[in-house]
Amino acid sequence: MTGICQHEPMASASASASGAASGAASGAGAGAASGAGAGATGSHGGAGSLAVGTWVVDLDGVIWLAGDPIEGAGAAVGRLQRAGVRVLFATNNAEPTDAELWGRLARAGVTAGADDLVTSAHAAAAMLAPGSTAMSVGGPGVHEALRSRGVRVLSARDDAGVPDAVVVGLTHDFTYDVLRVAATAVRRGARLIGTNDDPTHPTPQGLLPGSGALVAAVATAAEVVPELAGKPYQPMAELVRARAVDVTVVVGDRPATDGVLAQRLGVPYALVRSGVVRSGDPAGSDAEFDYVDLAALVDAVVGP
């Protein structure tokens, strides 16, 4: 019933590059922890080699934290763009509409082209054919993406009929009845698509439950393995490739999503410690570059 696309984290990145990066990254972690913001390089050369092409940049924990701009991030994006680097924002946050995300970007001092934003809601919608039906267990961003795709959206309180898919994303409107209706639709034959499986998302108050917790609830109740759309899974990788053929690096605060997406795209990963991973934490990944935040990374690439 379900075409499973839940991929294991990729192990295809070159072992030698990973090993080299691992050792260097741990050194950089110490630098970042001391506040120096020093970076590391693996087998891909110095940070200056990144000053070309398109950067895929995460939002939560990189540009903002729970919507509040991270100091220096907007200006750093501007410096990159003036140096000729395109910035493509890629977020697993499927809850806001595109307009809401653009508003947050503007408040963070960022301007970018209309094609320079991809979300896990976009990736989930792309997994469905125009004209199909989906029950949305998600926020306005999921509804919007499905409708833009030409998918007919059913409410999660709508017991009538079996949709082609149940699409689950982060929402604050998740009750036992929503879980019951969604799981029943999946048991009756609907695909279960999760926008992403991030267990948490970072806020100034700490880590709060993420979309992955809701997807897991529906998957458990329906006893299926969900298909997953966002970082680091294939639908998001395809969406990024469709928007940019010249990706240079993936920048993000979560190695399990941003770092593994970089592997899938075959490009270096730059860890920034302004979100899930903080200064002094173990990197937990083979990040080729490791900086305290986006501003420090951009300083190293194009100068302050």
Pick between residue 191 and residue 254 the one whose CB is nearest to Mg ion. 254
- Residue type, position 236, single letter: M
Q: Which tokens belong to 85?
A: 């680097």
Measuring CA to CA, which residue among 122, 41, 55, 45 is closest to residue 291? 41
159 flagged as catalytic: no
Least distance to Mg ion, CB of residue 246, Å: 23
> Looking at 60, 98, 258, 286, which residue is catalytic?
60
60 flagged as catalytic: yes
Pick between residue 182 and residue 267 the one whose CB is nearest to Mg ion. 267
Least distance to Mg ion, CB of residue 200, Å: 10
> Looking at 58, 253, 258, 290, which residue is catalytic?
58
Q: What are the residues binding Mg ion (CB under 5 A)? A: 58, 60-61, 253-254, 275
Helix (H) and strand (E) counts in the chain: 10, 15
Q: What is the Cα 184 distance to its own chain's centre?
A: 29
- Residue type, position 264, single letter: R
Respond yes or no on whether the N-terminal peptide bond of residue 96 is cis (omega within 30° of 0): no
Q: What is the Cα 156 distance to its own chain's centre?
A: 25
What residue number has its CB nearest to Mg ion? 61
Q: Which tokens belong to 5?
A: 């696309």
Least distance to Mg ion, CB of residue 196, Å: 11
Pick between residue 215 and residue 250 the one whose CB is nearest to Mg ion. 250
* β-strands 165-168, 133-137 pairing: parallel
Phi, psi (deg, nearest 5) at residue 86: -85, 140
Pick between residue 60 and residue 288 the one whose CB is nearest to Mg ion. 60
Least distance to Mg ion, CB of residue 290, Å: 15
**Catalytic residue positions, numbered:** 58, 60
